[in-house]
Amino acid sequence: EYSERDARHALDRLFRRERKNLIRYLERHVGRELAPDLVQEVFLRAASSSQIVSLANPRAFLRRVAHNV
């Protein structure tokens, strides 16, 4: 089981790895101006999710959160 610290580190790595992909994804859906702000919202929501410590597919999880933002 992951500790809270492990989860924060994992989220930080995930953010660094997936940020550009999420921006592109959101640009297609909401436009270039809103995408960076919505990416921040996606990661805030992801950070508060209890699922973050046990994700089998983190990229798909972030896409689902982005879709729901």
Other Cβ atoms closer than 10 A to 23: 16
Q: Which residue has the higher pLDDT, 59 or 30?
A: 30
> Predicted confidence band at 48 (pLDDT cuts at 50, 70, 90)?
confident
Q: Is the pLDDT of residue 47 over 90?
A: no
Distance CA 36, CA 40 (A): 7
* Res 1: pLDDT: 55
> Predicted confidence band at 51 (pLDDT cuts at 50, 70, 90)?
confident
Q: Which residue has the higher pLDDT, 49 or 2?
A: 49
* Res 9: pLDDT: 83
